[in-house]
């Protein structure tokens, strides 16, 4: 805990990501004594800011829950300083270097963590300047980088090559913040530390897998940015695919990061590119009451854009364990609810002695309200032999009510500080992921697929029920509502 001595440099410190995620996560680590109290945090960006303005920016999204938190924040801010500079000027990075040398003299730090909270257009420029001006073999250097990692296989490879010429794979930490989420990290334990789950985790028992990401909000001001990418690049190709690999991969030899990542790459390589038949796209319009704007009403979105804000895609993994089992990934903005979950649906029971059965399901609710629950058939209490659908429910709020679930970014920054790569995306993994999505993305980019409109605040585009049913998902005959929440 907090024994390493490093300097954290946040590039793009005046931006949204730094304000919303990076600084609050660094404060969370500091508050819980995971950061060495001598650590210095140096912000760097183009905007000119004095210390007071910078501190406002750093604290904007930090939630203080107690007097202790307030005191901790005061001390935390003493560790933070800011320097403005251009993203492509060596002289500015030399000034940054002088600052770093100075703070390292005070702290004795011999490690540097560069957090690249930057737009893609300046990414390589900054990496180049860092390599030329702020890099030395005596100092352990780590670089956290954020998506987008390119737009397709080709641009991702170009980026990887350019970055690879500057920093080694060992030094690079590609963030996918879903890998820092508690329930995503729980996946390996659920699968590989439980005989009851481990032994049924295959095509003999499982009919289909649904991985769902829903957000209630639309693009809200990010429309211009979002439009270049669309929901597949924004969420599916990274967050949902990462979840899929953890659900589907073979057990790694150990928890060592390369062992884990070897297995993840392997399972991705068994997935052929998504076909036109296996994709359903949507784009949200105005809400039914007309109060919420449609995607195309956003002034920053190009007129007539066909960019999908909703996508459902079915992936198949052609290996011994999974051949024939559809993995349906679904994600969308401006929907009826906010949640991310993994739903493993089992096959029908062969036995015909009971009527009106529903399939077993294991549901891992990533957010909100972390939970694992198993839907199962039970005898309805009382006389007779009627079946009733019920559940085994591990809801974190009731079972682990004293535990604090760390923010994904806290978990990941700490991993990077400790030099642990297991929850970061390796270069070949990224390559394998792009191979699956690039052909269909090309079709979408060329305007070959028209997204189906859906109203803001609804379940998604028409045809969704048929789409998931075509890929095996069956709603049970009995009505079921998870007591904690309404049904999916
Ligand atoms: C980001 C996407 O990667 O993930 C956003 O760019 C999305 O569009 C976000 O809203 C969701 O993250 P979380 O942690 O809020 O579920």
* Ligand 1 centroid – CA 235 distance (Å): 7
How many C-alpha atoms does 470 have within 13 Å on its Cβ side?
Answer: 12
234 lines ligand 1 (CB under 6 A): yes
407 lines ligand 1 (CB under 6 A): no
Quote the CA–CA distance of 425 and 257 in Å, as a whole number: 10
How many other CB atoms are found less than 10 A from the CB of residue 132? 13
* Ligand 1 centroid – CA 340 distance (Å): 11
**Pocket perturbation via mutation, ligand 1, pick of 234, 308, 338, 341 by most ligand atoms within 8 A of CB:** 234
176 lines ligand 1 (CB under 6 A): no
* Ligand 1 centroid – CA 357 distance (Å): 37
215 lines ligand 1 (CB under 6 A): yes
429 lines ligand 1 (CB under 6 A): no
Quote the CA–CA distance of 233 and 366 in Å, as a whole number: 20
263 lines ligand 1 (CB under 6 A): no
* Ligand 1 centroid – CA 73 distance (Å): 26
- Indicate which atom in ligand 1 lies nearest the CA of residue 215: 10
Q: What is the pLDDT of residue 485?
A: 63
Q: What is the pLDDT of residue 293?
A: 95
* Ligand 1 centroid – CA 241 distance (Å): 14
Q: What is the pLDDT of residue 350?
A: 86
Q: What is the pTM of this model?
A: 0.96
Helix (H) or strand (E) holding 482: none
Residues of the chain with pLDDT under 50: 1-2, 486-488
Quote the CA–CA distance of 152 and 174 in Å, as a whole number: 16
Query: 42 near 99, Cβ under 8 Å?
Result: yes
146 lines ligand 1 (CB under 6 A): no
User: CA geometry: angle at 64 spanning 58 and 65, to 5°?
Assistant: 165
The interface pTM score, or ipTM, of the predicted complex is 0.97
Q: What is the pLDDT of residue 176?
A: 97
Catalytic annotation, residues: 239
292 lines ligand 1 (CB under 6 A): no
Among 46, 63, 170, smallest CA distance to 117 is for 46
**Pocket perturbation via mutation, ligand 1, pick of 178, 233, 239 by most ligand atoms within 8 A of CB:** 239
Q: What is the pLDDT of residue 352?
A: 79
């Amino acid at each position: 805990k907090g024994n390493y001595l490093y300097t954290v440099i946040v590039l793009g410190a005046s931006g949204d990501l730094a304000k919303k995620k990076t600084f609050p996560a660094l404060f969370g680590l500091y508050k819980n004594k995971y950061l060495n109290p001598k650590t210095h945090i140096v912000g760097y960006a183009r905007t000119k800011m004095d210390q007071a303005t910078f501190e406002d920016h750093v604290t904007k999204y930090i939630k203080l829950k107690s007097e202790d938190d307030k005191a901790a924040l005061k001390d935390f801010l003493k560790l933070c300083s800011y320097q403005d500079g251009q993203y492509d000027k060596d002289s500015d990075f030399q000034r940054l270097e002088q600052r770093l040398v100075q703070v390292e003299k005070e702290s004795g730090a011999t490690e540097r963590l560069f957090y690249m909270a930057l737009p893609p257009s300046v990414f390589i420029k900054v990496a180049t300047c860092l390599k030329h001006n702020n890099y030395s073999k005596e100092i352990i250097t780590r670089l956290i980088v954020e998506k987008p990692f390119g737009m397709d296989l080709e641009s991702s490879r170009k980026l990887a090559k350019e970055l690879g010429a500057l920093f080694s794979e060992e030094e690079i930490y590609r963030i996918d913040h879903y890998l820092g989420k508690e329930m995503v990290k729980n996946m390996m334990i659920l699968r590989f530390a439980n005989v009851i789950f481990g032994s049924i985790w295959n095509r003999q028992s499982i009919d289909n897998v649904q991985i769902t990401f829903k957000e209630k909000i639309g693009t809200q001001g990010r429309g211009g940015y979002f439009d270049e990418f669309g929901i597949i690049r924004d969420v599916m190709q990274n967050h949902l695919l990462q979840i899929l690999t953890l659900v589907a991969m073979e057990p790694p030899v150990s928890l060592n990061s390369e062992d884990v990542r070897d297995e993840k790459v392997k399972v991705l390589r068994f997935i052929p590119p998504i076909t036109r038949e296996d994709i359903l796209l949507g784009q949200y319009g105005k809400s039914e009451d007309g109060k919420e704007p449609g995607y195309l009403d956003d002034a920053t979105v190009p007129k007539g854009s066909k960019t999908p804000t909703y996508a459902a895609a079915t992936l198949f993994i052609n290996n011994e364990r999974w051949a024939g089992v559809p993995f349906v990934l679904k994600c969308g903005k401006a929907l009826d609810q906010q949640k991310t979950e993994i739903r493993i649906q089992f096959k029908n029971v062969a036995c015909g002695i009971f009527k009106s059965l529903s399939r077993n399901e294991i549901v891992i609710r990533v957010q909100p309200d972390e939970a694992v629950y198993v839907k199962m058939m039970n005898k309805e209490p009382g006389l007779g032999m009627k079946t009733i659908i019920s559940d085994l429910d591990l809801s974190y709020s009731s079972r682990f009510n004293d535990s604090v679930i760390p923010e994904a970014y806290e978990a990941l920054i700490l991993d990077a500080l400790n030099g642990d790569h297991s929850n970061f995306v390796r270069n070949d993994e990224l390559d394998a992921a792009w191979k699956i999505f690039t052909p269909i993305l090309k079709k979408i980019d060329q305007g070959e697929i028209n997204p189906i409109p859906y109203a803001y605040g609804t379940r998604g585009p028409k045809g969704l029920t048929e789409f998931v049913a075509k890929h095996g998902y069956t709603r049970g005959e009995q009505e079921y509502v998870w007591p904690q929440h309404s049904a999916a």
